[in-house]
Chain A
Amino acid sequence: MLSPERLALPDYEYLAQRHVLTYVEDAVCQLLENKEDISQYGIARFFTEYFNSVCQGTHILFREFSFIQATPHNRASFLRAFWRCFRTVGKNGDLLTMREYHCLLQLLCPDFPLELTQKAARIVLMDDAMDCLMSFSDFLFAFQIQFYYSEFLESVAAIYQDLLSGKNPNTVIVPTSSSGQHRHRPSTGEAGTPEGVEASLFYQCLENLCDRHKYSCPPPALVKEVLSNVQRLTFYGFLVALSKHHGINQALGALPDKGDLMHDPAMDEELERL
């Protein structure tokens, strides 16, 4: 069914919603890079193939990182491609290190930044032991959250730090005699000292964040769900919960449920044909 809203949008906004201009510009770029190979009448065909590959999600293969992260669709397509290409790693039950996963990522994107892979690994490992082994599904779902919601997570980290140091980003500070005191909470819990931040307060700040910013956020209702199960939580506790949440994975729409990760009948069919 057609939604009437998009018919009323101003032209530029309508185009921006689906990043149409991003893809048109990139198509021209690709055309110029391959111009020796294209005849005059092949241009329409070139554009057809380009836009078809965007629809199918294969357009991000072997492209530079700046393009892969340029639109939500690109990010989702990249996640999907990574899953499809390397799910056999999971099938065999192999455990890999962060560096090994990074090599796999670089096969699909030569300039993929190590920093991003490290952040993803930190979600799985919850500490700094960067050479620990991780299962494919653990890494994949953590990577999904880190990569798809990069900007969101950066803001969340800032909010978390503020809350830890006693600053509530929501409140207006009224100068009183006691306002100069901040209690710094230790990052590792000692007996009797509460660790992390209070869940409901954290949620309020995140709700404001989702309202204020244009970039992708996980659906606020699901974030609320994650935060309603606990009283307090740490930053990485929160990220782990996000990465393991089925609803958020489904809302994103790039990867199947964890149970179906190894299930890819289309790929199996193709492999059988070989």
Chain B
Amino acid sequence: MAALPVPLPSAKMAAVEKRRQAVAQATSFTDSGRPGVPRTAATAESEEDFLRQVGVTEMLRAALLKVLEARPEEPIAFLAHYFENMGLRSPANGGAGEPPGQLLLQQQRLGRALWHLRLAHHSQRTAFNNNVGVAYECLSASGRKKKPGLDGRTYSELLKRICRDGEAPEEVVAPLLRKIQCRDHEAVPLAVFRAGMLTCFVLLEFVARAGALYRLLEDPGLAMADRRLGQAVLDTLEGALQASDDTAPARYLEAGSRLGPDSLALAMDRALVARRPSAPMTREEFLEKAAALFIAKVKPVG
């Protein structure tokens, strides 16, 4: 078990104790009407025992480790979801007489898999791959009417969900889905699943950055970009991507220099001079073309 950089639990108990004494002194009453009682060492010990017995200590340790691994932007919201998921898994939860229907189970499975996939950014490769593994297991678990393993239909649904939640327009991601989807009743192995997830998340980030790039190009009055500028940027991007086809390091440097501000500015200047103005380029068109450059590099499944 990894060592936590924070003191748990005895030092934390001391901190808890101090605050509780402050509370007892500051308020002349408590919610349940108990008078403030001076804390003794015995009380503190029994509380520590209680916490350990019900598993709180271990629970919090695991939760904090997960937070540190995932480094979410909103750690408090993350913790709320974390405990919510944990609550869903406990045997005593729900207590409904009838087990939930197949559809509900499926939705729950998808939801849980999605949650796991979002825990770490795709650039944190080890953590991301671990989470992909857990998500795969979650989706592959056998149910009452379900055989073990991940089928193409669930896989496609998951891909669509991820893209929808990532706010990428449907037309933009559709070509990717066509390339990497599996047939409905095909079994999807882990390697294919992992590659698909990674591609999907990277594409979403790519589209987001392309969107930000478009915002720089667009005329604030028109909310659209000059076609010549948009096309110049896309052509430069295409050139850079082609340059990096070869994996030699020099090729990456070349690609990087093509995308540098100087070359890009030159390309844009040249475009403005050389071509006549025409119909402006909308954001959707820009994103579609940019995404197409990325998707062209994706190997189709099967």
Q: Which chain B residues border A55 with CB–CB below 8 Å? A: 74, 76-77, 80
Of chain B, the residue at the smallest CB distance from A51 is B80
Among A1, A14, A51: residue with most chain B CB under 10 A: A51
Which of A4-59 touch B at CB < 8 Å?
Answer: 6-7, 9-12, 14-15, 18, 20-21, 23-26, 28-29, 31-33, 35, 39-41, 43-45, 47-48, 51-52, 54-55
Bound CA span A242–B205, Å: 39
A-B contact pairs, 11 of them (CB 8 A): A3-B73, A7-B121, A11-B5, A14-B71, A20-B79, A40-B54, A43-B55, A47-B79, A47-B83, A64-B26, A65-B26
Which stretch of B12-20, B177-185, B214-222 is in the interface?
B12-20
Of chain B, the residue at the smallest CB distance from A13 is B5
Is B22 at the interface (CB under 8 A from chain A)? yes
Distance from B191 Cβ to chain A, minimum over Cβ atoms (Å):
26
Q: Which chain A residues border B107 with CB–CB below 8 Å? A: none
Which stretch of B85-93, B233-241, B242-250, B253-261 is in the interface?
B85-93
Contact B68 A15 (CB under 8 A): yes
Distance from A62 Cβ to chain B, minimum over Cβ atoms (Å):
8
Contact B76 A51 (CB under 8 A): yes
Distance from A159 Cβ to chain B, minimum over Cβ atoms (Å):
31
Is A225 at the interface (CB under 8 A from chain B)? no
Is A111 at the interface (CB under 8 A from chain B)? yes
Contact A43 B77 (CB under 8 A): no
Question: Known contacts A12-B5, A32-B51, A110-B27; is A25 also within 8 Å of B15 by CB?
Answer: yes
Bound CA span A66–B12, Å: 18
Contact A32 B47 (CB under 8 A): yes
Is A2 at the interface (CB under 8 A from chain B)? yes
Q: Which chain B residues border A14 with CB–CB below 8 Å? A: 68, 71
Is B187 at the interface (CB under 8 A from chain A)? no
**B contacts with A: majority SS:** helix
Q: Which chain B residues border A54 with CB–CB below 8 Å? A: 76, 80
Q: Which chain B residues border A23 with CB–CB below 8 Å? A: 76, 79
Distance from A8 Cβ to chain B, minimum over Cβ atoms (Å):
9
Contact B54 A43 (CB under 8 A): yes
Q: Which chain A residues border B92 with CB–CB below 8 Å? A: 39-41
Contact B26 A12 (CB under 8 A): no
Bound CA span A59–B86, Å: 21
**Number of contact residues on A: which range applies?**
35 or more
The number of residue pairs between A and B whose CB atoms lie closer than 8 Å in the complex comes to 119
Distance from A90 Cβ to chain B, minimum over Cβ atoms (Å):
29
Q: Which chain B residues border A47 with CB–CB below 8 Å? A: 59, 63, 79, 83
Contact A20 B16 (CB under 8 A): no
Q: Which chain A residues border B90 with CB–CB below 8 Å? A: 41, 44
Distance from B160 Cβ to chain A, minimum over Cβ atoms (Å):
22
Which of B50-86 touch A at CB < 8 Å?
Answer: 50-51, 54-56, 59-60, 63-64, 67-68, 71, 73-77, 79-80, 83-84, 86
Is B124 at the interface (CB under 8 A from chain A)? yes
Is B104 at the interface (CB under 8 A from chain A)? no
Distance from A81 Cβ to chain B, minimum over Cβ atoms (Å):
17
Q: Which chain A residues border B64 with CB–CB below 8 Å? A: 15, 20, 24
Distance from B137 Cβ to chain A, minimum over Cβ atoms (Å):
21
Is B6 at the interface (CB under 8 A from chain A)? yes
Contact A11 B73 (CB under 8 A): no
Bound CA span A33–B16, Å: 11
Is B23 at the interface (CB under 8 A from chain A)? yes
Of chain B, the residue at the smallest CB distance from A7 is B71
Contact B60 A24 (CB under 8 A): yes
Bound CA span A140–B126, Å: 49
Produce 1/0 per residue, B107-139, CB < 8 A to A.
000000000000001001000000000000000
Bound CA span A52–B76, Å: 8
Bound CA span A9–B73, Å: 12
Q: Which chain A residues border B51 with CB–CB below 8 Å? A: 28, 31-32
Q: Which chain A residues border B121 with CB–CB below 8 Å? A: 2, 7
Is B208 at the interface (CB under 8 A from chain A)? yes
Contact A25 B12 (CB under 8 A): yes
Question: Known contacts A11-B5, A55-B76, A110-B27; is A48 also within 8 Å of B71 by CB?
Answer: no
Contact B27 A31 (CB under 8 A): no
